[in-house]
Structure 1
Amino acid sequence: MSLEYRPRRIILVRHGESEGNVDDTVYERIPDHRVGLTPRGYEQARRTGEALRGILAGESVDVYASPYLRARETLEALALPVAPGDVRVEPRLREQDWANFQDPADIAEQRAARDRYGHFFYRFKDGESGSDVYDRVSTFLESMFRNFDSPAAPRNVVIVTHGLTMRLFCMRWFHWSVEYFESLDNPDNAEPVVLLRQPDHRYRLERPFTQWNPDVVPSERERSSWL
């Protein structure tokens, strides 16, 4: 891949506030992939879209989105200046699978076990581990890179997905450790995370993720991933 064709920005956007963010009992009766946005989530995405349109300023953009309803609704509310053919709904960008309809008591027990075991390696019953999501994000990156190997490659890429997937995307991109990944917070709903191309054609985060666990000290490699 020619480095000169790399996009100027890769912008990750978490979906807006969903029904599941305000009431986790919805997962007992609605499949995860069909959980939609709340009115507040639509408004969050609309405001983020206004900011992104100002950043993009008419430059070319390719868009990828998780197939989950809340991500597709977020993309619609962003109102990005893209043609339908420039939007790819990408199953590898979906949320971490937690199995099917959820039993609240069982999920609470599994979440407690995950906190003890570690969020990267713990696998939910009949679902995925964080490392499984990392693997499918890795294969997505290989596909995305192939689209950069052309003078017609977009100057910007926007990816609408989920909080954990965003952290794992950056973990894979910047080669972060498991410990550093596990110390980070998810972005807020509809919050963008921007990877900016530098003069050496490498990327850095416009700002780092916040850490819920400040006891984990970032390595030199991890510190070098942000401006």
Structure 2
Amino acid sequence: MARPRRIVLVRHGESQGNVDDTVYEREPDHALALTERGLAQARATGARLRELFGDERVSVYVSPYRRTHDTLGAFDLDPERVRIREEPRLREQDWGNWQDREDVRLQKAYRDAYGHFFYRFAQGESGADVYDRVGSFLESLHRSFEAEDSPPNVLLVTHGLTMRLFCMRWFHWSVAEFESLANPGNGEMRVLERGEDGRYTLDKPFERWREPEPYGATGQPPGKPAGWPAG
């Protein structure tokens, strides 16, 4: 099995919904475009990716949302070295059709109190639902590593929650650990790098907005999760 040298996760650039939450009342979530700032963020990330990948081939998986496609387009990667596949399982957490602004704000307050992993939006998904489809995608991704021509780099262009859940699934983090982590900023990336022992580590941890709460059979909060950088 030729596992990739690195797996890169990128959150889309700033979108219309990130600066004006009333837009969800008029436009479908999947159709929201990037702002000018979001395009600039994507171009800056693209420069870093081109330097990181060099002349190596890249297998790209992109969420079907407009903002992720636009982010990928702004990367300006060499089309001769990339293989692009749209992957619906990497989409944003579904909140359910057009959204009423005040209702969503109320549901977000409920989610904050209930827990981001288990709370299910009334017409949409819970974080656990997204975790399940990310797990399904990972099974497909691992099968792709078995191909003889498997590229040394994998790039996922997706969303903040999905990035955290991907790492939770990959590194077997606990629910309590997931609940303590914040989304990366728009246009930010995280790199899973394969070491000499074949194991992957994150180049940079997700920021924590709180310490993990004691939970589970041990009654002890988890320490630094597997895959985090040393130090």
Tell me the TM-score normalized by structure 2. 0.93
The question of whether the paired residues in 2 share the 8 Å contact of 1:13 and 1:193 is answered with yes
- In the alignment, the residues of structure 1 paired with residue 37 and residue 165 of structure 2 have an alpha-carbon distance, to the nearest angstrom, of 26
The aligned residue for residue 133 of structure 1 is: 130
The question of whether the paired residues in 1 share the 8 Å contact of 2:179 and 2:212 is answered with no
- The one of 21, 26, 42 aligned to 2:23: 26
**Greater CA drift, 216-225 or 103-112:** 216-225
Q: Write the mapping of 1:1-150 to structure 2, written as runs, cut at 5 A.
A: 2=1, 5-83=2-80, 86-150=83-147
- In the alignment, the residues of structure 1 paired with residue 132 and residue 226 of structure 2 have an alpha-carbon distance, to the nearest angstrom, of 23
Tell me the TM-score normalized by structure 1. 0.94
Sequence identity of aligned pairs in percent?
A: 58
- In the alignment, the residues of structure 1 paired with residue 80 and residue 212 of structure 2 have an alpha-carbon distance, to the nearest angstrom, of 45
The aligned residue for residue 219 of structure 1 is: 222
The aligned residue for residue 201 of structure 2 is: 204
Unaligned runs of 5+ in 1: none
- In the alignment, the residues of structure 2 paired with residue 224 and residue 63 of structure 1 have an alpha-carbon distance, to the nearest angstrom, of 22
- 1:64 is paired with a residue whose SS is strand
The aligned residue for residue 217 of structure 2 is: none
Q: CA deviation at 1:215?
A: 5.4
- The one of 162, 167, 182 aligned to 1:185: 182
- 2:59 is paired with a residue whose SS is strand
In the alignment, residue 229 of structure 2 is paired with which amino acid?
W
- 2:69 is paired with a residue whose SS is helix
In the alignment, residue 150 of structure 2 is paired with which amino acid?
A
Q: CA deviation at 1:82?
A: 3.4
In the alignment, residue 200 of structure 1 is paired with which amino acid?
D
- In the alignment, the residues of structure 2 paired with residue 221 and residue 181 of structure 1 have an alpha-carbon distance, to the nearest angstrom, of 12
Q: CA deviation at 1:200?
A: 1.1
**Greater CA drift, 77-86 or 34-43:** 77-86
Q: CA deviation at 1:214?
A: 3.0
- 1:173 is paired with a residue whose SS is helix
Q: CA deviation at 1:83?
A: 4.3
Unaligned runs of 5+ in 2: 215-220
- In the alignment, the residues of structure 2 paired with residue 15 and residue 85 of structure 1 have an alpha-carbon distance, to the nearest angstrom, of 18
The aligned length equals 224
- The one of 140, 155, 158 aligned to 1:158: 155
- Deviations 1:46-101 (Å, cap 9, x if unpaired)? 01000110010111110000000000000000112234971000000000000011
- The one of 170, 176, 183 aligned to 2:167: 170
- In the alignment, the residues of structure 2 paired with residue 31 and residue 37 of structure 1 have an alpha-carbon distance, to the nearest angstrom, of 14
The question of whether the paired residues in 2 share the 8 Å contact of 1:61 and 1:82 is answered with no
The question of whether the paired residues in 2 share the 8 Å contact of 1:174 and 1:225 is answered with no
**Greater CA drift, 64-73 or 206-215:** 206-215
- Deviations 1:187-216 (Å, cap 9, x if unpaired)? 010101100001111100011111011355
Q: CA deviation at 1:41?
A: 0.3
CA RMSD of aligned residues (A): 1.6
Structure with higher helix content: 1
